[in-house]
Amino acid sequence: MLRVLQKSVGLIFAIASCALPQTRYTGKTQWLDNAKAVVTHTIDDTTKFVPASVDAMDRHGIKATIYVNTASKTMDELWPRLRKAVADGHEIGSHSRTHPCKWPDTEEFCGGAYTDAEIAGSRDDILKNTPQPHVWSWCYPCGNCARYPFIQKRIAAAGYIVARNYQDEARNGHLIPNLNTFAANAFDAAYTQVVQKKGGIAPTGNDDLPKLNAKFDEVYSAGAIYNFMSHPQWLDYGPDAFYEAHLRHIGERGGVWYVPLGPLYAYRELRESAQINSKGKRFEVSTPLDRKIYNGSVTFEFRSKQNPVFNGTPVAERKPGALQQWTGAFYRREGERLWVTIPPTGTLEFR
Ligand SMILES: [Zn+2]
């Protein structure tokens, strides 16, 4: 009897191993393309210094959200440069039309200042003047009003999915909030640190290069989100000045995903929503989210010796190095570990 049982167990194992699929799905990665860490940058205000800041980022592969005041006269000079920035993988975010700002930021002030023209009007200005499909990011002028739920609701109602704050500038609260992950409330979102000289009503700046770089190193080692902000008018320019020297330290690293803030927050929701179901040898991937807003890709990990084919087209292998996009289809392999990055809408096969 025992021998019969052993035989049947053996037979079951034999059948099971024959039936083992050649490709096995093991899960979604935390960051796109199984990156080790994320770098995101934001810059504030419409000034003539914006192009110099974006030029410096482009020399080091940093991707940023560029927050502008769309009713400023200086915008006439900036729009052409911003259109190029969108093509280069940056994001244009709204910093309102006219930068309303007042201390203390009472409920009464915020209720009056946060008009439809400031919130939805600035969004429409960006959509009209750039090829960006959506305006994901808002930034509170002077950090005012970020804490009020009724204001956050107005921002969300205009289609923004993240709103960056600037906390307690008068007491240097804005310098190193040290948030190295997603904000619990995306409409009152902090960041890792400021990278700029003294400006505004702040007692000091945060421009000591060794300290700036050490903070990045700490966040990078933790595999987290290094999220830094600057005002281009409070920077020094030139390859050896603190801003570009910091960009050089953090830029062009293999295993780092460089992405603007809005697409990063969109990625969080897209990744969570993405479904993958195996149907025989195929995998169907889908998301219920609006692809105009959630237009990025998600990375699915497999064990396979075969290569991926997505919606009938072989997926290209990505060369190692910094990842500077949030869309597209590509794969990367280490032995049998395979990371397939695709828009979550279609059919994935392995051949
Ligand atoms: Zn501002």
pLDDT in tens, the chain (351 residues): 445 445 554 444 444 444 445 899 999 999 999 999 999 999 999 999 999 999 999 999 999 999 999 999 999 999 999 999 999 999 999 999 999 999 999 999 999 999 999 999 999 999 999 999 999 999 999 999 999 999 999 999 999 999 999 999 999 999 999 999 999 999 999 999 999 999 999 999 999 999 999 999 999 999 999 999 999 999 999 999 999 999 999 999 999 999 999 999 999 999 999 999 999 889 999 999 999 999 999 999 999 999 999 999 999 999 889 999 999 999 999 999 999 999 999 999 999
Strands (E), the chain: 24-28, 37-43, 64-68, 91-94, 137-139, 162-164, 193-194, 225-230, 256-258, 275-279, 282-286, 298-303, 308-310, 313-314, 330-334, 337-342, 346-350
Q: How far is the CA of 143 from the centre of ligand 1 (A)?
A: 8
CB 69 within 8 A of CB 46: yes
CB hemisphere CA count around 286 (13 angstroms): 4
Q: How far is the CA of 140 from the centre of ligand 1 (A)?
A: 7
Q: How far is the CA of 298 from the centre of ligand 1 (A)?
A: 33
Angle at 64 between CA 248 and CA 206, to 5 degrees: 60
Q: How far is the CA of 68 from the centre of ligand 1 (A)?
A: 8
Q: How far is the CA of 164 from the centre of ligand 1 (A)?
A: 11
Q: Considering the entire predicted model, what is its pTM?
A: 0.93
User: What is the spatial distance between Cα 197 and Cα 306, in angstroms, rounded to a whole number?
Assistant: 52
Crossing angle between the packed helical segments 209-221 and 242-250, to the nearest 10 degrees = 20
Q: How far is the CA of 142 from the centre of ligand 1 (A)?
A: 5
The pLDDT, as a whole number, for residue 249 is 98
Q: How far is the CA of 153 from the centre of ligand 1 (A)?
A: 20
Q: How far is the CA of 234 from the centre of ligand 1 (A)?
A: 12
| DSSP of 237-301 | -STTSHHHHHHHHHSS-TTEEE--HHHHHHHHHHHHH-EEEEETTEEEEE--S-TTTS---EEEE
Q: How far is the CA of 132 from the centre of ligand 1 (A)?
A: 22
In this structure, are strands 282-286 and 275-279 parallel, antiparallel, or unpaired? antiparallel
The pLDDT, as a whole number, for residue 320 is 85
- Which domains are delineated in the chain? 21-31+273-350 (no CATH), 37-254 (3.20.20.370)
CB 145 within 8 A of CB 108: no
Q: How far is the CA of 98 from the centre of ligand 1 (A)?
A: 10
Name the residues around ion ligand 1, CB cutoff 5 A: 44-45, 141
Q: How far is the CA of 44 from the centre of ligand 1 (A)?
A: 5
The pLDDT, as a whole number, for residue 233 is 98
Q: How far is the CA of 46 from the centre of ligand 1 (A)?
A: 8
The pLDDT, as a whole number, for residue 14 is 41
